[in-house]
Structure 1
Amino acid sequence: MPIAVVLGSTGSQGKGVIDALLKDPKWTLRGICRNRNSATALELSEKGVEMVDGDVGDEEFLLKAFTGADAIFAITAYWHLLGPRDIDQAGEEEFRQLQSIAIAASKTETLNHFVLSTIPSAELMSNGEHPVPHFDYKNKAVQWMKVHTNKLYEITTYVYVALYPNNFVNEAFMRFVKVRPGGYFLLLPASPTAVMPFSGEITHNIGVVVDAILAAPEKTIGRTVPLHTDHATFTEVVALFEKVTGQTAVYSEVSDESFEHLYGPLFGRELVLGLRFHEKYPSEDLNDLPPLGTGTLMTLEELGVGDRVIGLEGAMKGFGDKLL
C-alpha cells in the first residue's frame, strides 16, 4: 500500500489530514511529531498510524522518516519558534526547516505528490509595504524550492490556510472574555469593519481538502488551493457568537500598542502584523491571491469539496458552549 507521511501530525492540520486518510484503506500512514508519547500521538498510534518524532530541521532524520513515501503533507509551526528567537529569527528558522523538508523530500525516490500548507506572502501582496514574518518566510521557502528543488516544486500542491475559527476556543488571544453573567467581549487589533478570511473548522476541512488533492493528482499538482470558506468581520463573528450561544457580546478594537503590551513584543507584535495586513489588504476576491505553483488557483468548488467543508457558522455551532 502507498505510504502517506504527515508532518505536524498532532496539530490541528496534521491530525485533520490523518483523520481523513484513515478512512481510505489504501493508505499506510506515518505521522511526524515532536513527541510520540503525547496523548494525541498515542491515540493515533492506537489507530494504526506509525508515529515518529524528531527535528524537522534535521535532513538525516527526515530522509529516514520519508522512506518509501508516495505522498507527503508538510507544515511548519512558526509560533513554536518564538521566544528565544525574535519574529524574524523565528521566520529564518522556519525557512531553514522548510529547506530541510524540501531537500529530504526531493531525495525520496518513491515520492509522487508533495502537499504544502502555507500562507500568501504579505510582503509580495503589499508591494513591500507590510511584511508579516510568519507569512513571508514560508513564501521565501517556496521560491527557494523553485530554484533548488525544482523537481519537487513540479509535483507540489499548495494549500493557503486562512484564520482558524478554532482559535476562538483554543487560543487565549482570540477567546471571548466574560465580563458579567451572559455578557462577553472580543478584543482584537482590527477595525470592526475589516474583512478577515476564515478557514472554517480547520481540522475537518484540511482533511477533506488534502484527501481530495491526493485523490486527483492529475488536476491538483502545480495548483494552489485557498482554504478560505468565509470572509467576515469580527463584528459579524460576534453576531454568530450571540446566535450560537444565546449570550450577549460586543466586539471592540484595541490599539496595536495595547495588544502588544498584553501579549508581548513577540507574539503580540506578530499577531498585530497579521491582522492589520488582512485589514489593509482584504482578499475577498480569491483572484487577488498569487498562485505559488505552475498552475492557477483552484477553488474549493473546482476541487469538488465546496459542499463538504464546514464554514464559519457551522464551526461556531460545532463549538457551542466551548466558546464560553
Structure 2
Amino acid sequence: MSKLITVFGATGNQGGSVVKHILADAVLSKEFKIRGITRDTSKPAAQALTSKGVEMVSADLNSKDSLTSALDGSHTVFLVTNYWETANRDIEVTQGKNVADIAKQLNVQHLIFSTLLNVTKESGGRLSHVPHFDGKADVEEYIREIGVPATFYLPAYFMSNFEQFIKPGEDGVLTVALPVSEGAKFPLVDIKEDTGKFVKAIIKNRSTLLGAHILGAENYYTSTQVLDQITETTGKKTKFVQVSEEVYKSFLPEFMAQEMLENHLFIEKPGYYAGETLDKSHGILEDKLVSWKEFVEKSKAF
C-alpha cells in the first residue's frame, strides 16, 4: 500500500518542484501517493496536478481543524510557509507551529520543513530585522522541541531574484547595485527546478537525516561571478555598484527596506549559511543541479 506525502504550496515554486520530482522518480512515485495543499483547488495549476493523479485539497494554516483533515493519513509532509503573504512574523510562526502540532498529533513520520537560519542569533544581534528568516528558525526550534521526526531544508538565495534587480542603467549596461562588496558570496538555487531534487533525496535518506540541515544551494557565487557569466552567455556588458545602506533602502518599499538591507548584510557577514560548506548537502543528491550559467541561458530577463 502506498504511503501518503502531503505537500504544502503544491502549485508554488518549492512545493511544485517537490511534486514534480516525486512524480518523475521511478521509486518514489510508486512508494508515495501525493496530496497537494493549495489555496484554490479550482485554479488551472491545481487542476493540472489533479490530472497527473495528485489529490488536491485546500487547507487553512490558521485552523487546526482544517489542518487535521488535510494531514490525515500522512506519512511524510513537506511544509513551506509564506511570510510575504502577510509580512507578519507572528502569523507565519503560528501557522508553522499549527502544522507541527497536527503532525505530532497524527504521528507523521517525517516532516520536511523549508526553514532558514536565525539572523539575529547568527549575527550576534547586529542584524535583528530579518523576520522572514528568524520566524522560520522559530518554527524549526519548536518542531525540534515537541519531537516531530523532521529534516530541515534551507533554500538558498533564489537565482530568479537577480532577474528582478539586474537592470540596464542609463548607459544600457546591465547593473546590479547592492549594499555589499562584490566579493560577498551568494549561495544560489534555481528554486523552481531544484527544490524537489533536494527533497527527493531527503525522503530517500530519512533515517540518516532526521534532525539535519540540508543546504539547498547549487554553489556560492560572488556578484562578479554572477555578472561575468551573464556577459559570457549574452554578450551584454555588466557592472557592479556597491551603494550605501541608505541608498539601497531608497530603492525599496518602506515596509521591507530595512529587512532586505539586513538580509544582504547577513550574506556578507557571517554568511547566508554562516560559512557552512555545501559538501554534505550535495552528497545525498542523485540529480545534477542547475548552475547559474544554465539558469541565465534559459532566462528571458537578461
TM-score (norm 1): 0.84
Structure 1 equivalent of residue 7 of structure 2: 6
Deviations 1:23-57 (A, max 9, x none): 22332111112222333222222222121223212
CA contact (8 A) 2:198 2:285 kept: no
- Between 1:277-286 and 1:128-137, the stretch displaced more is 277-286
- For residue 159 of structure 1, the aligned residue among 153, 156, 180 is 153
Structure 1 residues 257 and 210 mapped into 2: Cα distance closer, same or farther (>3 Å)? same
Structure 2 equivalent of residue 129 of structure 1: 126
Structure 1 equivalent of residue 282 of structure 2: 301
Residue 69 of structure 2 corresponds to residue 77 of structure 1: no
1:108-119 to structure 2, matched below 5 A, reads 108-109=106-107, 111-119=108-116
Structure 2 equivalent of residue 317 of structure 1: 297
Residue 47 of structure 2 corresponds to residue 58 of structure 1: no
Structure 2 equivalent of residue 281 of structure 1: 270
What is the rounded CA distance, in whole Å, between the counterparts of 2:175 and 2:44 in structure 1? Answer: 33
Structure 1 residues 108 and 4 mapped into 2: Cα distance closer, same or farther (>3 Å)? same
What is the rounded CA distance, in whole Å, between the counterparts of 1:235 and 1:39 in structure 2? Answer: 40
CA contact (8 A) 2:143 2:150 kept: no
CA contact (8 A) 1:17 1:203 kept: no
SS of residue in 2 equivalent to 1:64:
helix
Structure 1 equivalent of residue 216 of structure 2: 227
Structure 1 residues 35 and 187 mapped into 2: Cα distance closer, same or farther (>3 Å)? farther
Residue 181 of structure 2 corresponds to residue 184 of structure 1: no
Structure 1 residues 189 and 225 mapped into 2: Cα distance closer, same or farther (>3 Å)? same
Q: Which amino acid aligns with 1:312?
A: W
SS of residue in 2 equivalent to 1:299:
helix
Structure 1 residues 37 and 188 mapped into 2: Cα distance closer, same or farther (>3 Å)? farther
CA contact (8 A) 2:113 2:140 kept: no
Unaligned runs of 5+ in 2: none
Structure 1 residues 226 and 195 mapped into 2: Cα distance closer, same or farther (>3 Å)? same
Structure 2 equivalent of residue 87 of structure 1: none
Structure 1 residues 9 and 181 mapped into 2: Cα distance closer, same or farther (>3 Å)? farther
Unaligned runs of 5+ in 1: 83-89, 288-296
SS of residue in 1 equivalent to 2:6:
strand
CA contact (8 A) 1:122 1:277 kept: yes
CA contact (8 A) 1:6 1:17 kept: yes
Residue 266 of structure 2 corresponds to residue 268 of structure 1: no
What is the rounded CA distance, in whole Å, between the counterparts of 1:135 and 1:16 in structure 2? Answer: 21
Structure 1 residues 69 and 190 mapped into 2: Cα distance closer, same or farther (>3 Å)? same
Deviations 1:123-155 (A, max 9, x none): 2211222222111111112222333x22x1xx1
What is the rounded CA distance, in whole Å, between the counterparts of 2:139 and 2:206 in structure 1? Answer: 22
How far the C-alpha of 1:196 sits from its partner, in A, is 1.8
- Between 1:269-278 and 1:123-132, the stretch displaced more is 123-132
SS of residue in 1 equivalent to 2:94:
helix
Structure 2 equivalent of residue 49 of structure 1: 54
Structure 1 equivalent of residue 242 of structure 2: 253
What is the rounded CA distance, in whole Å, between the counterparts of 1:189 and 1:79 in structure 2? Answer: 22
CA contact (8 A) 1:166 1:201 kept: yes
What is the rounded CA distance, in whole Å, between the counterparts of 1:269 and 1:285 in structure 2? Answer: 23
Deviations 1:281-323 (A, max 9, x none): 1247416xxxxxxxxx982333144x6222323322332xx12
Q: Which amino acid aligns with 2:284?
A: L
What is the rounded CA distance, in whole Å, between the counterparts of 2:230 and 2:248 in structure 1? Answer: 22
What is the rounded CA distance, in whole Å, between the counterparts of 2:113 and 2:280 in structure 1? Answer: 16
Moved segments of 4+, more than 6 Å = none
1:134-149 to structure 2, matched below 5 A, reads 134-147=132-145, 149=146
TM-score (norm 2): 0.90
Deviations 1:193-218 (A, max 9, x none): 222222x2222221111111111222
SS of residue in 2 equivalent to 1:76:
coil
